[in-house]
Amino acid sequence: MPFGVLNIYKPVGMTSHDVVAVLRRVTKIRQIGHTGTLDPFAEGVLPVCIGKATRLIEYFADDKEYLATVQFGSATTTYDIEGEKTFISDRKITADDIDLKPFEGEIEQLPPVYSAIKVKGKKLYEYAREGKEVEIQPRKVTIEKIELKSFDEKLQQAEILIKCSKGTYIRSIAHDLGQNIGVGAHLVKLVRTQAGKFRVDNSVQLEGIDVSANLINPLEMLDLPKLDVSGEQLEKIRHGMPIENNGYSGNIILTNDNQIVAVAQADDKIKVKKVFL
């Protein structure tokens, strides 16, 4: 069975699960999984693991980078182009009005009411569709970088680059930005340009994909310490036995001949967590 990761460019209109379904049909492999969802209206980088690489999903870096197109002058129920308008303003703004400083660093963010976050075992968008109100708790997220790339004064649209932690809702940033200025705002386009070490420049289109030709060795994309093992160490790992630790700590990738042998936890000794032999 193939073992590796794909850097897929998810197109608009497909869910992340749709992408996995297509790859399962193409490869006839069931063991396929993505590392993080993208809304159907969004596009861009979607890392997908094939075969045993699905056991590595939790170890890929989860920081993200997006290029968001924000429309000023109206707010919507979903905070994006797919929702119904809840507020309209005819006031025109300039680039000088767009203050991104409140969104820098660690912030508390209210997720959109139309989101998959669960409250009391039920997804928020299910409450919203039923017309029921539910208390939403703010969540701490980190915005490492937020930068205004361009502003079209005629269209009242801004392109904003955002590098952020896992769980950040770009829709909420667009909505809150519009509220802060007083004219309303919502997302009209969202491109994920990076997910961990996966970059949009190296992504491949799903249509007509040659999976074997585009498989990436997970070692290239995992941002964890690596230790090459052989001989007696390799045999111990094969049987799930610990090996001596020479200065490592935390999660570590054990390799042999440029292939993943195991994921391990290093403390007093290096103890195997997942074996790939």
Instruction: Give the whole-angstrom CA distance, residue 57 versus residue 53.
Output: 7
Do the Cβ atoms of 220 and 25 come closer than 8 Å? no
Out of 18, 39, 201, 223, pick the active-site residue. 39
Going by C-beta distance under 8 Å and a sequence separation of 6 or more, which residues neighbour residue 263? 55, 56, 59, 251, 252, 253, 254, 272, 273, 274
DSSP class of residue 90 equals -
Quote helix, strand, coil % in the chain, to nearest 5.
25, 40, 40
Instruction: Give the whole-angstrom CA distance, residue 94 versus residue 154.
Output: 10
Q: Is 228 a catalytic residue?
A: no
CA distances from 48 to 54, 215, 276 (A): 8, 10, 18
Helix extents (H) in the chain: 16-27, 124-129, 170-181, 211-214, 231-238
Residues annotated catalytic, as ranges = 39
